[in-house]
Amino acid sequence: KLITFHGDMPYPSCEIIEKLEALDEEDVVGSGGFGTVYRMVMNDCGTFAVKRIDRSREGSDQVFERELEILGSIKHINLVNLRGYCRLPATKLLIYDYLSMGSLDDFLHEHGEGQQLLNWSARLKIALGSARGLAYLHHDCCPKIIHRDIKSSNILLDENLEPHVSDFGLAKLLVDEEAHVTTVVAGTFGYLAPEYLQSGRATEKSDVYSFGVLLLELVTGKRPTDPTFVKRGLNVVGWMNTLLKENRLEDVIDKRCADADMETVEAILEIAARCTDANPDDRPSMNQVLQLLEQEVMSPCPSDFYESHSDYC
Ligand SMILES: Nc1ncnc2c1ncn2[C@@H]1O[C@H](COP(=O)(O)OP(=O)(O)OP(=O)(O)O)[C@@H](O)[C@H]1O
């Protein structure tokens, strides 16, 4: 079978194949470690993201398809929905729901004209939703899924700024363990837990570390490879600790977050510090992280949060 779908796909296969075949340079929305992502618009304007896998692990198509079956069966509001996949002789295409606002990385770091800024309440909503998606992968999926590559370009946003974690399960599926160590070190340095860097072995706790780095990115607005601290031989965790020791909380917070209140900022920094503990055993589980975020961040004023989250400009 050329195309396989998980659940409902309200388009005939012939229309999908026609659209897939017509994809070209103009439709490219981005590219990453595994291949190129295209925007595919159907006749009724329904839109999907198609990831063309350029690199893939040697292995049987059967194993690949079985794993994709599992990934496609995982449905959660905070995870990017894999609709189906298409196997062609030279390439594999994964079909995902299209997230119209692009990635968190773009929002935080691309300052192009018309780029909206994310205020503090929007960032809290993104932290919380991303934690929900990840906790679901760790604790509610069977077999559990370790993401392995949590970073801001893998958090995609919809028009309500609800976050959807993308690329889960792909690192394991597409890259063999040995090659993966070099890939991740080259590709996403800054998010990786020290023990993962050393051993190349990903665990739930290495995901928790990366999530902690993501929280710091939301607070500071800086990439984990920002020259401010890399030049001084520090990573984002070390840099933040230095500033906090000097009581310079205001230098930690992204200046673009005028609505940030110290209480929630401190609570988020505390959670991030626990997630990025050097000892993986001392890091909380994703379910605990989620609980902490819900209790400490949401409880002071949950109604305000919900009312204000949409005015992020
Ligand atoms: N479902 C989607 N909807 C909308 N845009 C998407 C979707 N998936 C990916 N993109 C866009 O394509 C870009 C590239 O995605 P891709 O997952 O290939 O690479 P990456 O996440 O940047 O890097 P890596 O492959 O190392 O994880 C993303 O940054 C995003 O802007």
Burial of 145 (0-12, 13-18, 19+ CB in 10 A): buried
Please tell me the predicted confidence (pLDDT) of residue 270.
94
Q: What is the pLDDT of residue 172?
A: 67
Which residue lies with its CA nearest to atom 20 of ligand 1?
32
Task: Output the pLDDT for position 258.
Answer: 87
Ligand 1 pocket member 267 (CB < 6 A): no
Tokens of 42: 């159907």
| pLDDT over 80 at 118, yes or no | yes
Ligand 1 atom closest to the CA of 164, numbered from 1: 1
Centroid of ligand 1 to alpha carbon of 163 (angstroms): 13
Cα-to-centroid distance, 247 and ligand 1 (Å): 37
- pLDDT tier at 313 (50, 70, 90 boundaries)? very low
Q: How confident is the model at residue 307 (pLDDT cuts 50, 70, 90)?
A: very low
Cα 305 from Cα 8, distance rounded (Å): 34
Per-residue burial over 158-181, b if 16 or more Cβ lie within 10 Å, else e, is beebbbbbbbbbbbbbbbeeeebb
- Ligand 1 atom with the smallest distance to the CA of 96 is 1
Q: Which tops the pLDDT comparison, 93 or 183?
A: 93
Q: What is the mean pLDDT of residues 167-187?
A: 57
Q: What is the CA radius of gyration of the chain?
A: 20
DSSP lists the bridge partners of residue 93 as: 52, 86
pLDDT at residue number 26? 96
- What is the percent of the chain where pLDDT is above 70? 85
Tell me, using a 6 A CB cutoff, whether residue 168 lines ligand 1: no
Catalytic residue among 149, 167, 207, 226: 149
- The Cα–Cα gap between 172 and 66 comes to 13
> In the predicted model, what is the mean pLDDT of the chain?
86
The question of whether 149 is a catalytic residue gets the answer yes
* 65-109 residue pLDDT tens: 888 888 888 999 999 999 998 887 778 899 999 999 999 999 999
Give residue 56's pLDDT: 59
Calculated CA dihedral for residues 34, 102, 201, 204, nearest 10 degrees: -150
Rounded CA separation 308/155 (Å)? 21
Q: How many angstroms is it from 153 CA to the middle of ligand 1? A: 6
**Confidence grade of residue 115 (pLDDT, cut at 50, 70, 90):** low
For ligand 1, the distance from its centroid to the CA atom of residue 198, given in whole angstroms, is 27
Cβ-in-10-Å burial (0-12, 13-18, 19+) of 271 comes to buried
- Whether 1 has a pLDDT exceeding 80, the answer reads no
Confidence band of 250 (pLDDT split at 50, 70, 90):
confident
Global ipTM? 0.96
pLDDT for residue 199:
86
Alpha helices (runs of H) in 48-193, residue ranges in sequence order:
61-73, 104-109, 120-139, 170-174, 177-187
Predicted local confidence at residue 309, as pLDDT: 46
* Residue in 134, 151, 38, 167 with CA at minimum distance from that of residue 91: 38
Mean pLDDT on 98-127: 88
Res. 184 pLDDT band, cuts 50 70 90:
very low
Cβ(149) to ligand 1 under 6 A? yes
